[in-house]
């Protein structure tokens, strides 16, 4: 049953709708038009904006032939399925956004005639569910500086605390999403841009996203920071000298670069631009170095202090 002021709208086994006034008899009608203001279509309780029944408003309620009486906001369990929604309401209205607003088309890059689709479940709801704040930990540094080792140690440490993380490792992403990109400057820029956009989605989902990649250029890292809300991008700089990284050379890449078999290798014949204002800087100089787990604890301490591990 739907209350309209002092009126009630009842779905019955008859294909007609009936409108009842508490002080009068039923008034059968074939069609009615009702302006609805609905914040959540999944609820059986629907609010009606006004008491008018007229032909110029937004959503129509059409007569339905059902096998037995069904009620909205009543006792019945079986509400008939309605066209394209759990409530027969204009989708624009059910999202709490006017049709006029939704029809404001956008152009982003080469994409034209696109509209941002809002949902009633937002980042704050997902964070409450996960009891953490979604963010991006962007680990940058030379090859061999320990980025991937730190990322894995961070993931283990946060997982043991009941926190959900996901690692976007530079090499791993190039196995799939970015397999079409080379290591030329323009492709590196696109590589960073794509990973930044994916990291943004993880953060919006409430996940602590750990991006681990050289990302040698300040401008590209800055662009990734700029697409995230303030405070959601946490830059972690692995400040390890080139000679230490080259001495480690865990993948043998420095040796190949020195032999001229790899062109455009960061630190050898392509520059690395160290961050100027990282949230976290982890120094290692080749002497007594902290283990990945010890470095991870420093990052986790930062997250705890800043409230990222709270719902």
241-259 per-position pLDDT tens digit = 999 999 999 999 999 999 9
CA–CA dist 4, 46 (Å, integer):
10
Stated pTM of the model? 0.67
| Cβ burial 87-103 (10 Å sphere, 16+ → b, else e) | bbbbebbbbeeeeeebe
48-to-21, 37, 53, 297 alpha-carbon distances in Å? 16, 6, 11, 54
pLDDT at 217 over 60: yes
Average pLDDT, the chain: 78
pLDDT at 42 over 90: no
Chain segment 52-81, per-residue pLDDT in tens? 434 443 344 343 343 333 333 334 444 344
Compare 166 and 4 and report the one with higher pLDDT.
Answer: 166
35-to-16, 52, 56, 171, 206 alpha-carbon distances in Å? 19, 8, 9, 54, 36
Please report the pLDDT score of residue 286 as a whole number. Answer: 64
Compare 225 and 62 and report the one with higher pLDDT.
Answer: 225
pLDDT at 9 over 80: no
Compare 29 and 100 and report the one with higher pLDDT.
Answer: 100
Angle 261-267-273 from CA coordinates, rounded to 5°: 145
- Percent of the chain beyond pLDDT 90? 60
Could you list the active site residues?
A: 215
pLDDT at 202 over 70: yes
**Which stretches of the chain are DSSP H helices?**
91-94, 99-102, 123-130, 147-160, 170-174, 185-204, 218-226, 242-248, 253-258, 292-305
Assign 116 a pLDDT band (cuts: 50, 70, 90). Answer: confident
CA–CA dist 196, 191 (Å, integer):
9
Q: Cα 225 vs. chain centroid, distance in angstroms?
A: 15
Mean pLDDT score, 111-120: 91
Please report the pLDDT score of residue 96 as a whole number. Answer: 52
Question: Is the separation of the CB atoms in 207 and 166 below 8 Å?
Answer: yes
Question: Is the separation of the CB atoms in 29 and 20 below 8 Å?
Answer: no
Please report the pLDDT score of residue 56 as a whole number. Answer: 40
Beta strands in the chain (DSSP E): 2-4, 7-10, 17-21, 27-29, 31-34, 59-62, 106-108, 111-114, 135-140, 165-169, 208-212, 233-239, 280-283
Residues linked to residue 28 through DSSP beta bridges, in sequence order: 18
Mean pLDDT score, 151-168: 98
Q: Is 136 helix (H, G, I), strand (E, B) or coil?
A: strand
Please report the pLDDT score of residue 100 as a whole number. Answer: 52
């Amino acid at each position: 049953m739907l209350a309209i002021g002092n009126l009630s709208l009842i779905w019955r086994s008859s294909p007609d709708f009936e409108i009842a006034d508490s002080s009068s008899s039923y008034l059968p009608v074939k069609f009615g038009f009702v302006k609805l203001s609905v914040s959540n279509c999944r609820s059986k309780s629907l609010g009606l904006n006004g008491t008018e029944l007229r032909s110029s408003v937004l959503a129509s309620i059409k007569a339905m032939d059902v096998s037995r009486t069904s009620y909205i906001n009543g006792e019945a369990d079986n509400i008939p399925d309605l066209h394209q929604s759990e409530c027969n309401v204009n989708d624009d209205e059910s999202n709490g956004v006017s049709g006029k607003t939704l029809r404001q088309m956008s152009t982003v890059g080469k994409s034209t005639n696109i509209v941002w689709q809002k949902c009633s479940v937002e980042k704050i709801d997902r964070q409450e569910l996960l009891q953490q704040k979604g963010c991006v930990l962007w680990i940058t540094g030379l090859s061999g500086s320990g980025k991937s080792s730190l990322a894995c140690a961070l993931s283990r440490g946060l997982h043991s605390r009941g926190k959900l993380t996901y690692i976007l490792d530079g090499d791993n992403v190039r196995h799939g999403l970015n397999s079409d990109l080379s290591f030329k400057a323009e492709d590196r820029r696109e590589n960073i841009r794509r990973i930044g956009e994916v990291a943004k989605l993880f953060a919006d989902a409430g996940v602590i996203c750990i991006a681990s990649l050289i990302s040698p250029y300040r401008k590209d890292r800055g662009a990734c920071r700029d697409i995230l809300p303030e405070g959601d991008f946490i830059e972690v700089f692995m400040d390890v000298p080139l000679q230490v990284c080259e001495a480690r050379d865990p993948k043998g890449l420095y040796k190949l670069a020195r032999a001229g078999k790899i062109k455009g290798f960061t630190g050898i014949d392509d520059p690395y631009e160290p961050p100027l204002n990282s949230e976290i800087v982890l120094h290692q100089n080749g002497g007594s170095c902290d283990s990945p787990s010890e470095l991870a604890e420093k990052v986790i301490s930062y997250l705890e202090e800043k409230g990222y591990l709270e719902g």
